[in-house]
Structure 1
């Protein structure tokens, strides 16, 4: 079973075709928000490295993840620049902030939940790259498909670290809480198009 198949089995829903159509109609915005997502992903990894010291495996994985996300950020910026797409400030969509609302506030539960959320975001990113890539021009298609391997590994790393942090206790119930919420965010209407938005409201 390849990584993308595992991700599709992990997530509770596919990206709706309507989102793909919106992405094709808003390609400049897709790239701009994608750049922001890569920057935020690197920031999240660095925050975990600062907040939770001592676990060498986690710190190594987050360091590598941050470097890769910043490299992706640079690659998206380069594509934007060659296409004359301005890098403007835009508001983030509700996806990540809503997904983090059930995160518990005491440790180690906060750490475990944060890692679960990271796994889900990376999984959805990977799924969306694969879903939209066949419909894009050759340059973007090649770029987005090139991201699948690292994004899939990021998902697996986050999930592995979450299970490790739980110390042998099952976290399946917590994963289900966040997956159910994620499904509702992906399938419900959104007012603005973003990389992780739901379907645009009519």
Structure 2
């Protein structure tokens, strides 16, 4: 596991504060931890889907992507549908990039695979909630992703590059927190979080590789900038506990 965590910890500008771990390990916070984690898995899939739809595929492919995610969104945001049927939903169309995109195929390949994994993990989190007798109910989202995305450039291709860098930090932080909290959880949930770490450890590198390729130049300063922003969100005081929240009040 350490071989997976070393590049993640080297990439992040800070570690999760002990105060967050203390809050996350409390039994009374388990429902919030899993519920917010569930929504985070969907948002990760949505973010990857947005990149494909916005930048590299045609309208027909875009529609197929929306249909793929709709049952998950219906369940999460409108509390409609049977979650046990979500595992049977598949993408029914091959995603083909626009011919004029020199990075389109790589973005499609990496993001479609990421979406599949995130949606599978979404279903697995629901299974964990079922195991612990937690009924899904909507909660407010944390300030974390918004806090980074507000710094995204307003013009292309810088906007796309910034979004990919933000995606890298979000994925890396998720994996760091899986490892941080796992030792304090009971075995089924601890084993699950370690399995997620193994599955998602490469995601941040996929985002960074795409950002570097699209930029075609050194983006280390921009990566550093968002690293500082991300660390400030993690270390500063946060008035509500969430999977990606900062230091609890």
Structure 1 unmatched ranges of 5 or more: none
What is aligned with 1:50? 53
How far the C-alpha of 1:3 sits from its partner, in A, is 2.8
The aligned runs of 1:2-81 (5 Å cut-off) are: 2-25=3-26, 26-53=29-56, 54=97, 55-81=104-130
Say how many residue pairs are matched: 200
1:103-160 deviation line (CA, Å, top 9, x unaligned): 0011100000000000000000000000100110000010000011222111110011
What is aligned with 1:184? 232
How far the C-alpha of 1:29 sits from its partner, in A, is 0.8
SS at the partner of 2:201?
helix
| Partner Cα separation in structure 2 for residue 41 and residue 193 of structure 1 | 19
| Partner Cα separation in structure 1 for residue 54 and residue 4 of structure 2 | 29
What is aligned with 2:219? 171
Q: Give me the CA root mean square deviation.
A: 1.0
TM-score for both structures, normalised by structure 2? 0.79
1:14-33 deviation line (CA, Å, top 9, x unaligned): 00111011001111110000
What is aligned with 2:94? none
Greater Cα shift, 138-147 or 148-157: 148-157
| Partner Cα separation in structure 2 for residue 118 and residue 46 of structure 1 | 12
TM-score for both structures, normalised by structure 1? 0.97
Structure 2 unmatched ranges of 5 or more: 57-96, 98-103
| Partner Cα separation in structure 2 for residue 104 and residue 142 of structure 1 | 39
CA radius of gyration, larger in: 2
SS at the partner of 2:7?
helix
| Partner Cα separation in structure 2 for residue 80 and residue 114 of structure 1 | 31
Spell out structure 1 runs of 4+ moving beyond 3 A.
Answer: none
| Partner Cα separation in structure 1 for residue 55 and residue 198 of structure 2 | 26
| Partner Cα separation in structure 2 for residue 3 and residue 146 of structure 1 | 12
1:41-98 deviation line (CA, Å, top 9, x unaligned): 0011111111111310110100000000000000000110222111111110100001
The aligned runs of 1:63-102 (5 Å cut-off) are: 63-102=112-151
| Partner Cα separation in structure 2 for residue 82 and residue 3 of structure 1 | 28
